[in-house]
Amino acid sequence: MIKFLIRIFFISLAVITLLFILKDYNPLSKDDYSRILHNNEIKIATRFGPSDYYEIKNEENGYTYDVMKGFAEFIGVKLKVITMDSLEDAINALNNREVDILANMGVVNNVKTSYAYNKVNQYIVYNSKHTTKPNKIDDLQNSSIEIIDSILIKNNLDSFLGSVNINLIISKEKNIDEIINSIKNNKIKYTVLNNNELSIFNKYFPEIKIGFKISEDVPSTWAIPKNTNHKLEEKLSEYFTQILKTNKLKKFYVKHFTGKIQYAFVGTRSFLADFLNVFPLYEFYFKKYAEIYNHDWRLLASIGYQESKWDKDAVSYTGVRGLMMLTKNTSKEMNIQDREDPVQSIEGGAKYLRKILKNLPDTINPNDKIWYAIASYNIGFGHIEDAMKMAENDKVDADDWYVLEPYILKLSQSKYYKKTKYGYARGWETLKYVQNIRQYYDILVFLDSQDNNNENKQIDNQIPSTLWIKNI
């Protein structure tokens, strides 16, 4: 009996001790920073979009992406990016530890926010081709405004609208690309963009104009779990303090928002001036490597012009370099030692284009195959494959380029890209990229046929008006 009582005593003591240890235990209030280090991975959620996160040339990119990658490197772990559109889903994922941080998602409720590292102004924007410019809030009376799911935008609008009767549509499943496309196609009148987004979209959609400012100095913040250990917050503060002090954040900003836009049109006169003055430096090599890798040299030269304007020292806002704008990975794959050497760059571009063409499905119309390849050169074949798969699901034969084009546009629309293998892509950018190259190519074909390559500076007078490229 005594032994039994002693046994009960020690069991009870063990239970009491365990309960004492666990009394303050909460599975959702762990030392998040230690867990991240232990897993050697940090999961950060953000939105797909032209300023935050996207993929181009088979590599991840975006302003927010660079900041996220920088933090992962700062604490010495791998970065895993998770994309979300719904704020409710994002907050739940954060506080359930499915993600570790929400980056620049406009989240302020039910989370602990940390470090406002950037400030933006917000504007009402409209399509100048279809809508009269609104100059003040009263001009929006009885209109609709569609915005992404952002509490910061909503709060700023609410405080600005006052008694004006406006239908505010909060799109929980759309990204900013889709809303801009709706404005472009005159399906909605107004939305809200910040100055960073405007700097990108204005280059591609010049009809999108500013009406008026609704707020200024709106902070871009990262959100962390509301019950997180202080260590993660401390590390974020250290990181942002460092990149601000060293101007690294400014470099990220300049790279994405103030540099040259890679895919903007160049007017015909500018193109011809470069053809007469710059192209002769590289003509021999374009023709040499076009012959080696079985390309039309005029097409290879057109790709080079679109990529860099035949500038051997070019550096894209995405970080790729050289005349043919090869990535580090592509250069390595093509056995190119120095991608900034123009001769090596031209060879690398020709070699890479040949590889893409070789791997394209045989079902594609032979006359259109090159446009599929050029689009893949820009966006990666995985995304082109996604577009073809969407067409197939619609029982559409997408072996002709003009048939595939609308499906490439769908790569930036959430209801479509969420069902694809490779996800979001700036499809509208890729179509402009291909369109530009086709126009440069048409001019080079004409010039070559007329044997006018270096005859005189009045060469522009001989170009048919249908081939002229307008600056937009």
d(CA 329, CA 387): 24
- 345 with 277, same domain: the answer is yes
- 47 with 166, same domain: the answer is no
Task: Check residues 343 and 228 and name the one with the higher pLDDT.
Answer: 343
Name residue 81's beta-bridge partners. Answer: 44
- 100 with 233, same domain: the answer is yes
On whether the pTM is more than 0.75, the answer is no
- 457 with 347, same domain: the answer is yes
Q: Which of 307, 347, 405, 429 is catalytic?
A: 307
- 348 with 235, same domain: the answer is no
Residue 11 lies in a domain: no
Q: At what angle do helices 297-308 and 342-359 cross, to 10 degrees?
A: 110
User: HSE (CB half, 13 Å, CA atoms) of 132?
Assistant: 5
- 60 with 195, same domain: the answer is no
- 92 with 40, same domain: the answer is yes
* 307 counts as catalytic: yes
- Strand 112-127 relative to strand 190-194: parallel, antiparallel, unpaired? antiparallel
- Let me know: does 285 contact 342? Beta carbons within 8 Å: yes
What is the mean predicted confidence (pLDDT) over 39-50?
91
Q: Which two tokens stand for residue 462?
A: 């001989």
d(CA 53, CA 35): 25
Task: Provide φ and ψ at 115, rounded to 5°.
Answer: 60, 105
pLDDT tens-digit readout, 185-204: 888 899 999 888 888 887 77
Domain that holds residue 52: 30-114+223-255
User: Mean of the per-residue pLDDT values for the chain?
Assistant: 84
What is the tally of structural domains in the chain? 3
Residue 73 lies in a domain: yes
d(CA 53, CA 27): 31
- 160 with 276, same domain: the answer is no
Q: With bands split at pLDDT 50, 70 and 90, how would you rate the model's confidence at 23? A: very low
The pLDDT assigned to 21 comes to: 42
Q: In the chain, what percentage of residues exceed pLDDT 70?
A: 86
Q: Is the dihedral of CA 103, 105, 107, 110 positive or negative?
A: negative
Return the SS3 of 121: strand
The pLDDT assigned to 24 comes to: 39
Residue 325 lies in a domain: yes
What is the mean predicted confidence (pLDDT) over 246-275?
75
d(CA 62, CA 51): 5
- 390 with 431, same domain: the answer is yes
Cβ count near 59 (within 10 Å)? 15
Task: Tell me, letter by letter, the H, E, C secondary structure of 339-403.
Answer: CCCHHHHHHHHHHHHHHHHHHCCCCCCCCCHHHHHHHHHHHCHHHHHHHHHHHHHCCCCCCCHHH
- pLDDT at 59 exceeding the cut of 50: yes
- Let me know: does 406 contact 391? Beta carbons within 8 Å: no
Residue 15 lies in a domain: no
| DSSP E strand boundaries for 136-177 | 143-148, 166-171
pLDDT tens-digit readout, 297-347: 999 999 999 999 999 888 776 667 899 999 888 989 999 999 899 999 999
Q: With bands split at pLDDT 50, 70 and 90, how would you rate the model's confidence at 6? A: low
- 324 with 192, same domain: the answer is no
The pLDDT assigned to 18 comes to: 45
Q: In the chain, what percentage of residues exceed pLDDT 90?
A: 41
pLDDT tens-digit readout, 351-396: 999 999 999 999 999 989 999 999 999 999 999 999 999 999 999 9
Task: Provide φ and ψ at 71, rounded to 5°.
Answer: -70, -40
- 386 with 404, same domain: the answer is yes
- Let me know: does 190 contact 145? Beta carbons within 8 Å: yes
Q: Among 449, 472, 279, 296, which Cα is nearest to 463's?
A: 449
Instruction: State how far Cα 202 lies from the chain centre.
Output: 15
The pLDDT assigned to 448 comes to: 80
CATH number at residue 248: 3.40.190.10
What is the mean predicted confidence (pLDDT) over 138-158?
85
- Let me know: does 118 contact 220? Beta carbons within 8 Å: yes
- Let me know: does 403 contact 37? Beta carbons within 8 Å: no
- 312 with 415, same domain: the answer is yes
Q: With bands split at pLDDT 50, 70 and 90, how would you rate the model's confidence at 469? A: low
pLDDT tens-digit readout, 87-110: 888 999 999 999 999 998 877 778
The pLDDT assigned to 2 comes to: 58
Look up residue 409 and give its amino acid. L
| Length of the chain measured in residues | 472
